[in-house]
Every structure is written in C-alpha cells, then in structure tokens.
Structure 1
Amino acid sequence: MPKATRQTKFLPIVAAVALALSSCGGGAGADPSNVNPEGEVKPREISWLLSRPADGGVIKTMEQIADEYAETHPGFALNLVTTPDRPSYIQKYETLAAANKLPELFDTDATPFAQKLASQGRMVDVDLLLKDLGLNDEYREAALNYQRFDDGSLYMVPFEFQLEFFWYNKDVFKKAGTKIPASLDDFPAMCKALKAEGVTPIALDGKDQWPLERYMSYYPFRMSGPEYIQKLKTGEAKFSDPEGKAAAKWLSELGKSGCFQKGFSSAGYSDAQGLFTSGKAGVYNIGTWELNNLATETLDAGVRDDVDYFTLPTIDGSATEKNEYVTPSGIGMAVNAQTYDPLVRDFLAFALERYPELYASTGALSPTTSAETTIPEKATKVFDKAIKQADEIGGDIAMPWDTQLDPATNTRLQQELTLLVQGDITSDEFITTMDAALKENVGE
C-alpha cells in the first residue's frame, strides 16, 4: 500500500484519538517532577514502545545495556515493542495514549499531541531527570533542543545526533563547470549546468516523500528561522505568507530546472543513493546516518575520492547562519509518569550513563559530548570531517516538517509537493490548496 494512502487511512482514527485524549484526565496522581521516587528497586519487565529499525544502532545498543543490567538485577527485562513503519506507529501510540495504556517508555516527536500528554502530567520532566542524574551537561545542546516543545520544556531523551548535508561529486561539478551553491537561489543554475553535462543534478528519494518535504522547509528557515513552522503548524501562519510563497516558487523553479531525476516520485531510498554513489548524480541530500555508505571504502572506488559535502546554503538577508541547518536527534524517548518508579529510574540511570560510549563505538555520533565517535579503519577523510562538524553547529535548528505538521496536513503537503515539482500545478495553485488544507485541519 502506498505510504500516502496508508496515512490517509489512519486520519479518522487519529482524529478520534485526539478527541479521546482531550477528554481524558491523564495521569491522575502522577508527579512529572518527582524524578527520584523513594522505594525499593524491584526488578520486573518494563516495555518500550518504539519506532526505530530493529537492526539499528539504538536498539542494538539498548538491548546490550538491558542484558548487562539484568545480570545484576535478576527478573529484569526490557520488552521492545517495535513498529518501524511511522504511520502505523503513530496510530498505535496515540490509541494507547487515549486508552491510558502507554508502557513505561515510548517514542514520540515533539508534536502538539505529545505536548498535550505532557500538559496532563503524563510524561516525566526530562530536564529535571537529566539534572538529577548529573547528565544534563553532557548532552549536546542541539540534541536536546531538537526534542524540546516550542515553549522550551523537555520531555524526551535523545538517543541519536545527525547532521544533514548535501553530498556532492567534485569531479562531476568540475566537468560541468559549476561550483557549490553559495545561496539557495543558485540551485537552479547548478542543476542546469549538471544536467547539461548529462548527469542527474540531484538524486531524490521521491517515493518516501519526506526528502522532498525537506526542500520545502529550507527557504522558510533561511528567511525567518524556526518560527515559521512553529506558527504554521498551529494555524498562526499560512502557506500564503512570504515564507511559504518563496518556498513554493523555489520548488517550482527546481522542477523547471530539471533538478531531480525523471520519475523521481517512484524512486526509493536505495534508488536515490545508488544514483549518486555510481557517479550518475551530482548531489544527494542525506544525513550522517549514511556515513558508512558515503565516507568509507564501502563506496565505489570510482567515485570515492570525489565525494564531499556542503551544508545548507543561505540566502541574501538570511535570518539564520551557515552553521545552522537540519541537525536532528531523531525521535525521542518519553518516560511515562504514571508507571515511573524506582526501578525505571534506576535502569535509566544505568542506561543513559552506559549508552554514549557503546553507541559511539559503532561509528555513530552520540547525542552527548562525553563519547568520542570511533572512526572506522576504512573511513575516508570526509568521515572524520563530518564528525568534527558536529562541534561547529549553531543554535537554531531547521526542523523537519513531517515531525511538526498534523498528519492530515502533512500528507496533503507531500502529495502537492510532488505535483508542484513535476509541473502539474503552479505555485499559486499549491498555495491555495495548502492554505485550504491547513484551515480544514487546524483552523484559523
């Protein structure tokens, strides 16, 4: 079933869940600020409802940690309830929340739905928890800020830290006689030069839709920082505002300039990556979670020495700096205030202390500064360069819109973006449709 269709199918359910949640009393008797409850640590099985790849570094690391903890706490077990498919996960998570049956730990983005849970006292205050554990100063500021609600409160623990770059082929750029774009406005010219050289300018995973949505977020972030999406998701801003119009116009120009491969809407993740790693595309926008494929000897020898990256270009009068771009710390882990007890606290104290070193040893960036990433023996110079880049980022984060907008508006946006870039609709038609969708789903 196509992703967009699957999401649409869940919308009535999600709407019903939201209504149920709004009338639910939440965590009666729970105190989100009581991060160090008194009592005996009594081992039992606890559960973590999560949305992460089962073979990914986060789950593998936490499984190892849970096994280590169980060695000294007989009877303890961490039950991982995994649903990697995000729409299915959201349905399960919000349904359990409405029924007041969330487990001890659960994954969530910093959405309005999650903020409603926090306001009802159903999530432990992570700011207080990390301070109580003596770990708050070890976390990267950007990793924590990505998890914060718009009011600055923190109720999710980050387990990742990523930087999203524009990877490019230096040899292809040289042959095309083009340079790294200094501004977002230079993208159309760059695309035309690369296309004239006979290569796909930008490899895009259009099938999953979120990669194209990233492009929609770039111009508004440079124009006014993170505030635009914060207001857009609540209906305080519109797509017809200057930021939205500029983004739509830019996306339309990218389409007219042939920036993405023909048939991009049906191209998947591996298709896009393969296009770039084979030297058939000049640019590929993806995060440091792909370092092992883009910056080690795993990469084809024919392009290995030509692969480098540049960060999100600015614009004239940019409200954000060059070192501010998409730096996500992934979906966060919330702690259920209603089931929080000495055991959960003790396990989290052990896990969060142990996690950074183990996770960083896999070659990944830790959400803390306390652990140094292990550089693989067969890494290229770009690998080390990307890791060091993490210490140079600024304060503002370009938030991925798919984690911010309500499901209905997000689904419609992804559908309309494809039509816009394909030239099936104009930027004005796009704006009109999206403002109507926002009004219907969020209100004035």
Structure 2
Amino acid sequence: MITRFSVGRALGIALVGATALSFVGPAAAANYNWLTARGTDSGTVKAVLAVAEKFKQTHPDFGITVEAIPDRPAYLQKVKILATGNQLPDLFDADAEPYFADIVANGLVANVGAILDEVGITDKFYKFALDYERLDDGSLYLIPFEANTEYFWYHPSMFEKAGIEVPKTLDGILDACSKLKAAGLTPVSVDGKDGWPIYRYLSFPAFRETGNQFLEQLKAGEVQMNSPVGLASAKYLQDMGSSCFQQGFATANYTDALNLFTSGQAAIYYMGTWEIGTMTNPDGTLKDDVAFFTLPVIDGKTATKPTDFYAHSGIGTAIKAGSDTPELKEFLKFLADNFGDAALYDNKFMPSIKPTIRPDLAEIYKRALSDIEQVGTYVKVWDVKLDANTVDVLYRQSQLLALGEITPEQFAAEIDTSIQQYVSSR
C-alpha cells in the first residue's frame, strides 16, 4: 500500500515567520543528491547514472549521489520529514498528487516545465509522459523518466483450452473468466496486497464510460461514487473478484502475482511495459505461449477510443528550488540527447525521452512505442489523483469489495464520505 500524507499545514507552520526559500541556494558543489523511491538496480537509476558518467567526461566535477528507499511508505515518510524541516535534497521523486502540490505551493521546488522550455528539450519527451506529471492546474514540476503502457498479458494455450478468443469488451473479460474456470484454470492473477493493481479494474468501466471526467468530478466532490457510473465500476471490481482473481489474491504481493502467471498457473495478468523483459526472450521476442491485448471497450460507449488506455510515466523527479543551476540545466540538455537510447537499448525499459528507432529493435518494443505515440486520452491513476485519506479508504474497501465482504453501495458510501471530508477541509 502507498501511504500518503498532506503537508500543506505542516509546511505552513514550518515556514511561518520565514521566507519559503530562505534555506535554498545554489548547490554547494557540482555533486547533486538524488533521493529516489526506485531501487539502485532499477533501469531508470542505472540509465541516469550512465548518462551522468558520460557527461562527466566534459564536466569532471559533476556527479550524482543516489540514496534509494524503494519501500514506498518509508520513502514518503522521509520526504515528509525533509520537507517540513526545509532539508529536501537536490533531486527527489514524487507523484503529481495533492501532497506534492502542497510542496509546490510553498515554493520548495523548481518549475521543470519552464526549465525544459528554457533549454529547448520539451519536444524531446513524449507528450503524454510530461502531461502525466502535471498538476491539476497544468503546471509541470516533475521530470518523467519512463513512458509505459499497460496490457493484458495472456497464455494463448489456456485460451484455446477454454475455447475463448481475446475479449473485445469489459464484459467479455468476465465471460472469458467463466469459461477459463469451467476448464479448470485460474483466470486472472493479480497483486491484491499492494492495492493499486485491483484499483485498475475499478477504474476501467468509469474510463470507458466517461474518459477521466468521472474521476476528476469524484475527486472534486462534484459527483458521487454512489452514482450509476460509480456503482457500475464498483460492481465490476466485485465481479472480477468473485469470477476471475486467483484464490488468496488479497494477500498476494507483486512477485506472487507475477510468478503465478509466468509459471503458467494463471491465464491472464494485467501489467505495464516495465515487465516486457519478463515476457520476452533475450533477443526481444515474446516467450512461448505469451501474448497480449489492450484494454477492451464497452459496446456503444464513445467517450474514449480503443487506442486510449493506461499510459503513464510513473513517479517523476523534482528539482529543489535553488538546485536548478546552469550546470544542472546543461546536464538535462545532455540527458535529453542520450537517455532515450540508454534506457531502451541498455536497460530495456520504455523511456519518456524519444529514443532512436534502430532497425534491429525487437517488434514488442516497436509496438509499445507505437502505442505510446497513438494514445490520446490516457487513464488517470486513481491512487495518484485522490487525496491521501481517500486512498487509504480505497485500499481497505477495494479489498473487501473484491472479496465480496461489502456491497458496491457500502463501498461507495465509504469513498464518498472520505472525499467530502477532504473537500470540506480545503
């Protein structure tokens, strides 16, 4: 579970009687400290550091020191402590959520959008990757490093055994689950322990019905979860839980769910392109008996196109106000010319910065890059857009809903109460 906190009041107290930026200034040395929620073995960190080493050839004093805290709750707790104590590092990871918006409002980070425009590299990023990191007012204070799409991975042999084809609609997934179960197969593997993978299923119907309109209005308290769209979404998650998810899904973590699929014990696994390496051979071809399909539609609904689905750039990286030095800006310009290829070819992940498309690039990567280019409206992530307390409620109640321990109406009531409390407190 991702634990979040609101720092608006805490930062306000910390900065009473002082100028918000009184603690910052140019970096004391050419070494920049990066506090990251990624592991040091992540492709993103390795790619950034590889580019930094190359940059260092002409800028010998430049360096980036990484402190990694891949445990997300522990990471966010440390950022809270650093933010309230005016001790944020030069670079740190964050989502474009209400918590980070409070940090921005207190003037603690540099305007990334303005910096990218200043050094002339905005167009080198995939547009949606930048848009994903924007706050609700459209401002950009985070650098994206990834550009992911999400797919339903599946085993064709299991589909053949159950006598089914790739589902074309959301209801078709439920129908496929019934036939897979009847064939003695586990239909869907999902990580229920971490919460967010099951929120995806909650979000699918609302997105295909309204685009992101329902989520945006829900967050603002302008529409209720206890509405036709909200209840249909809640019911869909409950139906997935009863008909599709593996036994014990609520306590299964990310690795458990992934292994269940890759070992051939589940027919379908929904996950992003960051797992392409798991699904492919060393030469980039898909492993035997692995294929994928994109988010199905709802018959008769036109709010979104079939090419619209989950596409996002993951957690972004902020620059502390005052650390946006000329040298760092020069590095960002260098990064824009080198990171895309370092990410895609050396570290096998989809970059936010457009890479060179080489003739020998594996077809799966070409397909994913094509999807990235074509996506119009992408699904906004519920646990990023909703406030911290509501995300906690969402975590607890989604599990109960998927387990069939509460009704869609009870689920909706809990979500609506939490959002109203948040809206009233602002």
**Paired residue for 1:393?**
375
Does structure 2 conserve the Cα–Cα contact (< 8 Å) formed by 1:162 and 1:327?
yes
In structure 1, the gaps of 5 or more residues are: 31-36
Tell me which residue corresponds to 1:264. Answer: 249
Equivalent residue number for residue 407 of structure 1: 388
| 1:104–1:344 contact (8 Å) kept in structure 2 | no
Q: How does 1:101-120 map to 2 (within 5 A)?
A: 101-120=87-106
Measured in 1, the distance between the counterparts of 2:308 and 2:102 equals 29
Shift of residue 442, structure 1, vs aligned partner = 4.1
Please report how far the alpha carbon of residue 238 of structure 1 lies from its aligned counterpart in structure 2 after TM superposition.
Answer: 2.5
Which secondary structure state, in structure 1, belongs to the residue aligned with residue 208 of structure 2?
helix
Tell me whether 1:222 sits opposite 2:204 in the alignment.
no
Q: Does 1:329 align with 2:313?
A: yes
Q: Distance in 2 between matches of 1:56 and 1:353?
A: 20
Distance 1:27 1:368, change over 3 A: farther
Report the Cα offset of residue 203 of structure 1: 0.8
SS for the counterpart of 1:179 is: coil
With over 3 angstroms needed to count, the CA separation of the structure-2 counterparts of 1:374 and 1:60, relative to structure 1, is farther
C-alpha distance 339-366 of structure 1, shift in aligned 2 (>3 A): closer
**1:162-201 counterparts in 2 under 5 A?**
162-201=148-187
Instruction: Tell me: CA distance 1:350–1:386, structure 2 relative to 1, closer, same or farther (3 Å).
Output: closer
Give the C-alpha shift of residue 193 in structure 1.
0.6
User: Residue 365 of structure 1 contacts residue 373 of structure 1 at CA under 8 Å; is this kept in 2?
Assistant: no
Aligned to 2:328: 344
User: Are 2:297 and 1:311 aligned?
Assistant: no
Aligned length: 420
CA distance in 2: counterparts of 1:97 and 1:373, whole angstroms: 43
Give the alignment of 1:40-439 within 5 angstroms: 43-256=29-242, 258-296=243-281, 304-315=287-298, 316-361=300-345, 362-372=347-357, 382=364, 384-394=366-376, 396-439=377-420
Partner of 1:33: none
Q: Secondary structure at the match of 2:267?
A: strand
* Contact 1:251/1:421 (<8 A) preserved: yes
1:83/1:210 Cα in 2 relative to 1: closer, same or farther (>3 Å)? same
Aligned residue for 1:281, secondary structure, equals: coil
Instruction: Identify the match of residue 20 of structure 1 among 10, 13, 24.
Output: 10
The CA deviation string for residues 61-86 of structure 1, in whole angstroms up to 9 with x for no partner, is 12222233334334433121211111
C-alpha distance in 2 between matches for 1:202 and 1:102? 41
Q: Distance in 1 between matches of 2:33 and 2:217?
A: 35
Using the TM superposition, name which of 74-83 and 157-166 deviates more.
74-83
User: For the structure 1 residues 345 and 369, does the alpha-carbon distance in structure 2 shift closer, same or farther, using more than 3 Å as the test?
Assistant: closer
Q: Contact conserved, 2:307 with 2:371, CA < 8 A, in 1?
A: no
1:443 and 2:404 aligned = no
Structure-1 separation of matches of 2:288 and 2:87: 52
Counterpart of 2:237 in structure 1: which amino acid?
L
Deviation for aligned residue 1:356:
1.7
> What one-letter code is carried by the residue in structure 1 that aligns with 2:405?
D
Q: CA RMSD in A?
A: 2.8
In the TM superposition, residue 162 of structure 1 has moved relative to its aligned partner by 0.7
Q: Which range moved further: 267-276 or 114-123?
A: 114-123
Gaps of 5+ in 2: none
Tell me what 1:34 maps to. none
In structure 2, the CA distance between the partners of 1:65 and 1:370, relative to structure 1 (3 Å rule), is closer
SS of match in other structure, 1:296: coil
Q: Distance in 1 between matches of 2:85 and 2:138?
A: 28
Cα gap change, 1:238 to 1:312, in 2 (>3 Å): same
Q: Please list the CA deviations of residues 149-185 of structure 1 after superposition, one character each: whole Å capped at 9, or x if unmatched.
A: 1222211111011110011122211221222222112
1:291-324 deviations in whole A, cap 9, x for unaligned? Answer: 111122699x9x9333111111111314111111
The residue type equivalent to 2:408 in the other structure is: S
Cα distance in 1 for partners of 2:278, 2:293 equals: 17
Give distance in 1, aligned partners of 2:71 and 2:189. 23
Distance 1:383 1:76 in 2: 33
Pair 1:382–1:354, CA change in 2 (3 A): closer
**Counterpart amino acid of residue 8 in structure 2:** A
CA contact (8 A) 1:43 1:73 kept: no
- Whole-Å Cα distance in 2 between the matches of residues 429 and 142 of structure 1? 35
Give how far 1:44 is off. Answer: 2.6
Amino acid paired to 2:370? K
Shift of 1:222: 1.3
CA pair 386-420 structure 1, distance change in 2 beyond 3 A: same
Partners of 2:42 and 2:163 in 1: CA distance = 40
Question: Quick check: 347-356 or 49-58, which moved more?
Answer: 347-356
Shift of 1:374: 8.9
One-letter amino acid matched to 1:392: Q
User: Structure 1 residue 194: deviation in Å?
Assistant: 0.7
Q: 1:306 to 1:52 in 2, by over 3 A?
A: same
Provide the C-alpha distance between the structure 2 equivalents of 1:144 and 1:254, rounded to a whole number of angstroms.
32
